[in-house]
Chains A and B, each alone.
Chain A
Amino acid sequence: MAEYSRLAKGKFTSTGQAQVVNLPFRPDYVEFINYSAAASGADNGVPKAYWDFNMGQGFAVIDRFQAANQLTMDTVDLLGITTFEAGNLTQYGAALAISTVTKAAAAVVTSVSNHGLKSGDVVIMNNLYQTAVTCMQQIAGMPFTVTVTGDTTFTIPWNTNQSAYTAYDTATSTEDAFFKKVLYPYLYFPGVNFISAITTGTTTTIDTTTAHNFVVGQEVAFRVPTQYGTVELNSLPNQTIPGSPIYGYVIAVTDYNTVIVNVDSTAYTAFDSNQSFTSFVGLSFPQIVAVGDINTGGVQISSGSALYPPPYSIPIGTTRVNTINGPAIQGAYVNNTAQGFVIGAGVAEGDASAILVGAASDVIYWRAYLHDISLP
């Protein structure tokens, strides 16, 4: 009786962070063995875990060591095992209240309750009013990649330590600020990105608010509104060749949100992200857009990679997240929709040191099922 059921298994080495497993189906049951935790038998280890669809998303039942080589059972009620179907860009998480946003480069956001984010996630913030005319509505609605610094804190790549910005504190504000997670920000890439900073020079360095997913050889265009200064980068029709847009090429990828473009901007107007609060109504954001590429080859084979490596996104740092596609020309427009499950970094109800996904370097063997019959 398994004609239409789906069974899958695999293994991964934990990074200590939530692990995404792509599958050609969305399982209704997941279990895994943490071989490393089982072998060591150390206190707080989670050698086995189980999740059934009927438990609800984000839960799990676990075996954990309550002392060395002494097993007990427990549950994970937040950031446990979840399934996902990433096929729609308009999916956002629930609104979570913001407690404070600091005036700093990089601004620090504190949530009222645990945010449940991991570094590399993308959020938008809204209602950033301290008074009716102060705070940071200039960046409300703009997507930001977060770097998590605590259960209730994260930073965003934007400099709010400028004269036009005022810190947010919900205790004294006139509005309730909140943020939402963009559930699947990179379903298609490369694409449009918002610019947080531009460093002019013989080459031009661009910082973006989220992962750009550009590669060396990417052809790019700019859309810089007048208020932000560096309008000379814009691709509006070239004056010397009327009608021909001006493009640049990425010549170096510094980081997940920084690229260097081969445009000599030495004489260009400086970029200004210090937009006044009162200008926020109708304010468009500066953007860099992928418009083509000059590549002809795919992702190169490296140690441990697939024989024909698929295109990948880099949501933060040097983390590569492979698409489920076959190989593609680097810089090509690719589809990154996927489904599967996530083993989260949630902790046991009875032991905050027992982490579901284990510690970095733990080897985990998983199995996932989608059953023919599930009663009731």
Chain B
Amino acid sequence: MNQITNTGNLGPMILQSLAPGMLYTPTASMNYITIADKVAMPAHGGTTCRFMRPRALKPPTVQLGNSGIDPPAQVPQRDVIDAQVAFFGTGCIINEQVILQDQEGVLAWVSERLAVSMRQAEDLILRDYIISAASQINAGGGSNGDNPTNFGTSDFSLVATTLDCNNAFKFVSGIEGTPKIGTGPVRSGYFMLSSTELQTDFDALTGQGFKNQWDYSNNASALITEYGSVFNIRILTSSEAPVIRGGSANGNDLYYNTVAGKQALTHVKQTGMSMKMIYRDPYYSGMLAQNCTLAIKFPQGQALTQDTAIRNLMSTRKSGFIF
């Protein structure tokens, strides 16, 4: 028989107390900003950031001879790359009663979440921009019979060789070997931004070229998201790395692994307006001043400033289902 609860028939009182501090919010590592050069447009400097890159002049490898006649002059040329800046923002409306009555510092943790969302947006915009703009190499060194395949070590070699042939600059110097058992030197490297879902595949390449970060002779210079390295590629992983579910030729998950050298990608901000946290007092919300607002706003533009120094190494996964 159902029992109707009323003021004359309440359940026993449960004593409660709010635990100190908020629990952590699972947040993906933000790797894409890591590889980006940072440029700030001047305030009132228009909507477009223009990059210029001089073209190489032809080296004069033919001798002048003794005719006394100058060789023809060369025409200096430059390449132009334009990036338009756009604005982004979001915010929350918080009723004054919440602020007055809640114990857990609502404004503080909402501010924190807005700031994190701003940083995430910055990273995701760069991520998606790279998907759209950078050229691709399909992994073919794996054994799963798909297109692209899962990683084989030859894929890392191929993409690093491609960037080397393009005279890209590596991000980090090598790490010398030290007499510590189980460790070894690490080559100078480009960064590859990969999905955490591929970590089991990287582990499977241990002994074939993959070296876990903890097997570096010294991992003091390793980045916090650095999972390891293969040849001249140092791998940073994040759960926000792009994956197209069922996107490969055989209908398996398709991963974008962005391999980049220095100056391949540039992130554009604006001086004096890089990121704003905006608090608006309830006083402005209506005649009863019931609601405050907390918001963030930022400008951002982006460009591939050295297209030769970036590739998306596409891959599938060899290991089992992620859940």
A residues with a Cβ closer than 8 A to B are 3-4, 88-90, 92, 95, 124, 126-128, 137, 140-141, 178, 180, 186-192, 219, 221, 223, 235-238, 240-245, 247, 280-285, 287, 289-295, 311, 325-329, 331-335, 337
5 A-B pairs with C-beta separation under 8 A: A141-B254, A242-B59, A284-B140, A289-B307, A333-B81
A187→B302 CA distance, assembly (Å) = 13
Asked if B281 is at the interface of the complex by the 8 Å CB criterion, the answer is: no
> B242 — which chain A residues lie within 8 A by C-beta?
89-90
Grouping DSSP codes into helix (H, G, I), strand (E, B) and loop, the A interface class, with mixed when no group exceeds half, is loop
Contact A333 B148 (CB under 8 A): no
> A337 — which chain B residues lie within 8 A by C-beta?
86
B124: contacting residue among A88, A235, A245, A292, CB under 8 A: A88
Which of chain B's residues 293-317 have a Cβ closer than 8 Å to chain A?
A: 301-304, 307-308
> A311 — which chain B residues lie within 8 A by C-beta?
84
Given A241-B58, A244-B56, A291-B307, check contact A333 B82 (CB 8 Å): yes
Contact B147 A291 (CB under 8 A): no
Q: With a 10 A CB-CB cut-off, give which of A88, A127, A190, A281 has the most chain B CB atoms.
A: A281
A237→B84 CA distance, assembly (Å) = 29
Closest chain B residue, CB of each to CB of A177? B251
A292→B140 CA distance, assembly (Å) = 30
B residues with a Cβ closer than 8 A to A are 47-48, 50, 55-59, 79-84, 86, 93, 124-125, 128-129, 131-142, 145-149, 165-167, 242-251, 254, 285-286, 291, 301-304, 307-308
Given contacts A127-B249, A188-B128, A333-B84, 7 further A-B contacts (CB under 8 A): A92-B246, A126-B247, A127-B250, A191-B132, A192-B132, A221-B308, A291-B81
A284: contacting residue among B137, B165, B251, CB under 8 A: B137
Min distance, Cβ A89 to any Cβ of chain B, angstroms: 4
A335→B139 CA distance, assembly (Å) = 29
Contact B80 A241 (CB under 8 A): no
Min distance, Cβ B195 to any Cβ of chain A, angstroms: 11
Contact B141 A282 (CB under 8 A): yes
Given A282-B139, A284-B138, A333-B303, check contact A243 B83 (CB 8 Å): no
> B285 — which chain A residues lie within 8 A by C-beta?
3
